[in-house]
């Protein structure tokens, strides 16, 4: 069920909160079990066939953790991690890998596989916990506690990627006291801001970007359309994913759980390294701690560091989707980070007034690969962006209205504080309640009157 649907906002979330609050009040020992059942119901709403998948995933990994604690054999953890990654590969990458086979094997069958929602995210949660357990950093938990860590409904589908140490102690904390009610109030405000970002900005920007990228799949597009569509997608993916994250964090706060932040004004970054410290922050730290550092990081010389960066970002791109364009997107960012490392080691000056536009333009150009399903589409978009003679065709956009929406999005992305800062600064005054009430009404009207687009990161 989509966070930006009436089914979630008007039915599931209120009902889940009432049930949870009732358990906290009258049956506190059932609190975590009830929250786990609600999370499984939420996950299974999209397709009940995937309930056994996530349930077996939880039970098998929990049993592997118990076995490791008793036997102290590292191969148990390695085997469990490999099993998780192979399951992810079977669902997400099998057809992609078969498609890479030589032409003489072109008759290799393609399988009709439905990608389970959230499998990339809950697989990474398993990997984080099991890795830390092997390092003797993580304790053992009960089946209900571990199941809730994996399946907690605000973060099971598209993150944030949460470390066990960030939430497990919160699950054990009773829902009571003024502090919890303050969290719930902040959660409601974040949900409202998230819906507004998604419906008022993300979806409108999608309506600008999608027709141009669709046209570029089969024919050249005009330079103006290409620039407008590329900038529209640049801000669409930010407000779409940031809006989702705010709704996820806000939903968790309603249940007394604080999830980590995922965005910190990424388009204000002045270097590519700075961008990845601000964009999808929980994925960035996962790639750093569980891939980049184990590959050598910056501890074994510059050549190892550059190789680790390029490998990490290429695999990070592949994690986003089973396609060569995703790998190329990740490899480009890896190459950019390598240039960043070499430039910093050279100690050559680079004024911020130059760093920021260069970083932003690099990110914008890379988003073309991310958005394009095929290289032909990306090539046509790049030709138009660079005003190549091969660019052309009919315009698919109203330049003035499209540019207006993009300018509004740009101002908000570049100059406003992030939503967590906005909510943290708000005090209990009637004027703020009125303002958020109006925002909620506008979001509800937008939901009712326009097409509801799926969150971009639900595909990953």
Distance of CA 257 to the CA centre of its chain: 19
320 a catalytic residue? yes
Q: Which residues contact 59 (CB under 8 A, 6 or more apart)?
A: 143
The pair phi, psi for residue 452, each rounded to 5°, is -95, 115
Cβ atoms of 282 and 263 within 8 Å: the answer is no
Catalytic residue among 125, 126, 280, 320: 320
Q: In Å, what is the CA distance from 378 to each residue of 217, 240, 384? A: 8, 22, 10
Peptide bond into 160 cis (omega under 30): yes
Distance CA 35, CA 33 (A): 5
Tokens of 93: 């990458």
Say how many C-beta atoms besides its own lie within 10 A of residue 179's C-beta.
Answer: 10
Contacts of 258-261 spanning 24+ positions with Cβ under 8 A: 258/170, 258/183, 259/154, 259/155, 259/160, 259/162, 259/166, 259/167, 260/160, 260/162, 260/163, 260/166, 261/160, 261/418, 261/420
Burial of 83 by CB count in 10 Å (0-12 exposed, 13-18 middle, 19+ buried)? middle
Report, as residue numbers or ranges, the catalytic residues: 320
């Amino acid at each position: 069920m989509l966070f930006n649907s009436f089914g979630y906002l008007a039915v599931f979330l209120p009902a889940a909160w009432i049930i949870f609050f009732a358990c906290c009040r009258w049956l506190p020992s059932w609190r975590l079990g009830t929250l786990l059942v609600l999370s499984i119901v939420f996950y299974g709403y999209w397709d009940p066939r995937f309930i056994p998948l996530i349930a077996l995933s939880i039970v098998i990994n929990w049993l592997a953790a118990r076995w490791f604690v008793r036997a102290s054999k590292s191969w148990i953890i390695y085997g469990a991690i490999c099993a998780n990654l192979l399951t992810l590969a079977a669902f997400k990458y099998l057809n992609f890998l078969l498609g890479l086979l030589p032409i003489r094997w072109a008759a290799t069958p393609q399988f009709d596989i439905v990608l389970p929602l959230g499998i990339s995210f809950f697989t990474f949660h398993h990997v984080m916990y099991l890795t830390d357990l092997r390092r003797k950093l993580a304790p053992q938990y009960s089946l209900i506690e571990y199941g809730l860590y994996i399946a907690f409904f605000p973060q099971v589908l598209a993150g944030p990627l949460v470390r066990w140490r960030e939430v497990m102690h919160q699950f054990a904390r009773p829902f009571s006291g003024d502090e919890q009610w303050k969290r719930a109030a902040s959660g409601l405000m974040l949900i409202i801001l998230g819906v507004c970002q998604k419906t008022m900005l993300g979806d409108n920007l999608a309506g600008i970007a999608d027709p141009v990228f669709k046209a570029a799949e089969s024919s050249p597009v005009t330079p103006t359309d290409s620039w407008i569509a590329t900038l529209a997608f640049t801000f669409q993916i930010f407000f779409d994913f940031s809006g989702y994250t705010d709704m996820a964090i806000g939903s968790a706060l309603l249940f007394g759980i604080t999830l980590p932040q995922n965005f910190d004004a990424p388009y204000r970054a002045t270097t590519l390294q700075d961008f990845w410290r601000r964009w999808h922050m929980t994925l960035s730290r996962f790639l750093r701690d569980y891939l980049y550092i184990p590959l050598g990081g910056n501890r074994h010389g510059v050549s190892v560091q550059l190789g680790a960066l390029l490998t990490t970002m290429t695999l990070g791109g592949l994690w986003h989707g089973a396609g060569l364009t995703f790998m190329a997107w990740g490899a480009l960012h890896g190459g950019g980070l390598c240039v960043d490392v070499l430039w910093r080691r050279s100690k050559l000056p680079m004024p911020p007034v130059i760093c920021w536009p260069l970083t932003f333009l690099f990110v914008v150009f890379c988003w073309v690969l991310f958005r394009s399903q095929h290289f032909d589409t990306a090539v046509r978009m790049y030709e138009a962006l660079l005003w190549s003679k091969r660019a052309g065709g009919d315009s698919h956009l109203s330049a003035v209205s499209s540019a207006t929406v993009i300018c509004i999005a740009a101002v908000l992305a570049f100059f406003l504080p992030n939503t967590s800062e906005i909510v943290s600064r708000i005090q209990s005054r009637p004027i703020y309640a009125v303002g958020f009430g109006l925002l909620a009404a506008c979001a509800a009207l937008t939901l009712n009157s326009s097409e509801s687009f799926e969150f971009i990161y639900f595909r990953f």
